[in-house]
């Protein structure tokens, strides 16, 4: 089954969609995966180039490229399980060939091997962006939704003084609390919709760099 993006849910329906939560989980984990894959790619390339003049350089380079293919398969499976929401076919870890030397040549000559390294280098900045954006939006949305609840429970959700230069907030605390609740109610589903769109982009990127030759 090919790697494809599922249909998009309705505005509030997204809050009851399991895939939205698993996509958020993937996007948060992508920073960890980005650190891992970026470090592997940079370290492996440095070692392979540095040892190229020595006999040991060839097996080190082959092991590095084979490991990159293995990581690409792991990334595709994680993306398929958490974002695509369905199983999918993934490329073979090593390209086919008669004998080990033919397989080594196929590994080096396969464009997917090198585009996988490009994907790994891109995953770190993308992962940092995803993590920062989603954590900021989710915490802001939850905080805004908590304001009416705290107000009802009399746990400190009151407005006094000139907040952020808006004097009318202290003059109309009830309206301010209501607006905070409505803003939080809108921001949370918007955040999940954004996560689904980012998941679609990640699927598109993986399809072009990890799947297609």
- Quote the CA–CA distance of 184 and 137 in Å, as a whole number: 10
CA angle, 213 as apex, 81 and 87 as ends, to 5°?
A: 15
Q: Let me know if residue 6 belongs to a domain.
A: no
Residue 99 belongs to domain spanning: 13-211
Instruction: Give the residue among 105, 104, 75, 103 at the shortest CA–CA distance from 91.
Output: 75
* Confidence band of 162 (pLDDT split at 50, 70, 90): very low
Count the domains in the chain: 1
DSSP 166: B
DSSP-derived secondary structure for 65-125:
HHHHHHHHHHHHHHHIIIII-S------SS---SSHHHHHHHHHH-HHHHHHHHHHHHHHH
Domain presence at residue 98: yes
192 or 161, greater pLDDT? 192
Predicted local distance difference test score (pLDDT) of residue 107: 79
The CA distance from 212 to 40, in Å, is 22
Please give the pLDDT value at position 161: 42
Determine the Cα–Cα distance for residues 156 and 22; give it in Å rounded to an integer.
Answer: 34
Phi, psi of 166 (to 5 degrees): -110, 95
Which of 113-122, 131-140, 145-154 has the weakest average pLDDT?
145-154
In a domain, 193, yes or no: yes
The answer to whether position 26 is within a domain reads yes
Mean pLDDT of the chain: 81
pLDDT at 144: 84
Determine which of 49-53, 80-84, 126-130, 187-191 has the lowest per-residue pLDDT on average: 49-53
Q: Which residues pair with 166 in a beta bridge?
A: 163
Residue 173 lies in a domain: yes
> According to the model, what pLDDT value does residue 169 have?
55
CA-CA-CA-CA dihedral for 137, 142, 148, 153, to nearest 10:
-150
| pTM > 0.85 | no
Asked if the structure places residue 115 within a domain, the reply is yes
**In this structure, is residue 151 part of a structural domain?**
yes
As a whole-number percent, the residues of the chain with pLDDT over 70 amount to 78
Rounded to an integer, the average pLDDT of 70-92 is 81
pLDDT for the residue numbered 5: 55
End-to-end CA distance of the chain: 17
């Amino acid at each position: 089954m090919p790697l494809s993006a599922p249909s998009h849910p309705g505005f509030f329906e997204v809050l009851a969609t399991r895939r939205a939560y698993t996509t958020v989980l993937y996007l948060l984990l992508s920073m960890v995966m980005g650190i891992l894959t970026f470090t592997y790619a940079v370290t492996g390339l440095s070692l392979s180039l540095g040892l190229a003049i020595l006999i040991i350089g060839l097996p080190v380079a082959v092991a590095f490229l084979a490991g990159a293919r293995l990581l690409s398969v792991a990334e595709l499976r994680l993306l398929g399980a958490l974002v695509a929401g369905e199983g999918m076919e993934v490329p073979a870890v090593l390209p086919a060939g008669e004998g080990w030397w033919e397989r080594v040549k196929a590994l080096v000559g396969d464009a997917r091997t090198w585009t996988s390294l490009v994907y790994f280098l891109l995953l770190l900045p993308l992962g940092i962006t995803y993590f920062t954006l989603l954590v900021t939006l989710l915490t802001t949305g939850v905080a805004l939704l908590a304001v009416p609840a705290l107000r009802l429970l009399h746990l400190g959700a009151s407005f006094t003084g000139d907040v952020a230069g808006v004097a009318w907030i202290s003059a109309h605390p009830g309206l301010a609390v209501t607006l905070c609740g409505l803003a939080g109610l809108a921001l949370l589903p918007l955040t999940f919709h954004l996560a689904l769109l980012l998941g679609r982009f990640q699927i598109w990127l993986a399809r072009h760099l990890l799947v297609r030759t």
